[in-house]
Amino acid sequence: MKVLCENNIDFNLFRNLMDNLKKISNIATIGDISNIAKALNEFQPDLLLLKTESINGVVQAYANKNNVKVIGFADNENADVVADVVFPKSLDILKPNIDVIRFKEDMDKHDVSVFIHNPEQAFMADFLAKNYNVKVYGRCKINSPRYLGAYTDIEKYEIINKSKFIIDFGSYDLYDAILLDTYPIIYTNYNVVEEYKCFDNIVTLMECMEYIEDEDNASEINNKLLKLQDEFYKENSFTFAIDTLYKLGLEEQAKKLENTLEEAVA
């Protein structure tokens, strides 16, 4: 399958799709949408991923004539656009990447690791470093010997593998942690499922730390982790891409991706 996508689509769902479509497709990108007619004629795609404002008459005519499927990504939910599937910004969310499980290693888990990237939360990371036995990582530097710097993706997986818990300040490291058998404490003031332990201020952060340090809670935490893992295996970026392909009527490609998923979790 040949996929043509527009550059600079700032959607988590776009990244979810592309991470998996590249496993079964030939991908091309277009930066200047004014050249879309030329790109369509030269590349001859089977599937288009475009911002909804870029789906003009040329795109619609080409898609209708050549039976090309079109996915639109809409900042404006009320946009009057013709596309096979439209993803509005209001429903945009990053999904767990099941590929992470190939980085899982069998090792003793003993660290409590803190991941921070936003300067607005630096005071909480500093509080943790001063009062608890934690290791702090991320692009947001704090003045503490417990701050160990930024990291690559591979280094992040190594850090998580040796961590009993992580504290995530909203960077979605919690998805990777759960898939790597590490329980996350997350910074949020939104309602989330009961399996998560959350905080949004110093008081609730202290409550979370008291909870994870209490050995009597170990069994409960493990059960929460197993339930979250089970949910992630059922719904992730892989299954999202597969479901989208089925919605588009691209059954052959969907089945190829299903086979790839089975190999990944075998």
User: Is 108 found in the same domain as 228?
Assistant: yes
The verdict on 128 and 52 lying in the same domain is no
Could you tell me if 102 and 225 lie in one domain?
Answer: yes
Q: Packing angle between helix 36-43 and helix 57-66, nearest 10 degrees?
A: 20
**26 and 108 housed in the same domain:** no
Q: Is residue 21 helix, strand or coil? A: helix
Alpha helices per DSSP H over the chain:
12-21, 36-43, 57-66, 122-131, 153-161, 173-179, 202-213, 218-234, 237-247, 251-265
Residues of the chain with confidence (pLDDT) below 50: none
Write the CATH number for 230: 3.40.50.2000
Nearest-angstrom CA–CA distance, 78 and 47 = 23
pTM, rounded to two decimals = 0.88
- Interatomic CA distance for residues 185 and 207, integer angstroms: 11
Do 243 and 124 sit in the same domain of this protein?
A: no
Residues 117, 206, single domain; the answer is: yes
What span, in angstroms and rounded, lies between the C-alpha atoms of 90 and 107?
Answer: 40
CA angle 208, 167, 238 (to 5 degrees): 120
> In sequence order, what DSSP letters do the residues of 162-184 get, joined into one string?
TEEEEEESSSSHHHHHHHTT-EE
According to the model, what pLDDT value does residue 76 have?
A: 76
Could you tell me the maximum CA-CA distance found in the chain, to the nearest angstrom? 65
pLDDT at res. 48 = 98
pLDDT single digits (tens) 74-129: 987 666 678 999 999 988 988 999 999 999 999 999 999 999 988 988 999 999 99
Total domains present in the chain? 2
Q: 122 with 202, same domain?
A: yes
The CA distances from residue 179 to 75, 172, 238, in Å, are 31, 12, 14
Residues 105 and 198 in one domain: yes
Query: The tokens of 28 are what?
Result: 């091309």
CA distance 168 to 124: 11
Q: Which residues contact 261 (CB under 8 A, 6 or more apart)?
A: 98, 238, 239, 242
Residues 46 and 150 in one domain: no
Does residue 32 share a domain with residue 116?
no
**78, 130 in Cβ contact below 8 A?**
no
CA–CA distance, 132 with 194 (Å, rounded to integer): 25
Residue-range definition of the domain harbouring residue 11:
2-95+236-265
Residues 198 and 219 in one domain: yes
- Are residues 103 and 225 located together in one domain of the fold? yes
Q: What CATH number does residue 241 fall under? A: 3.40.50.2300
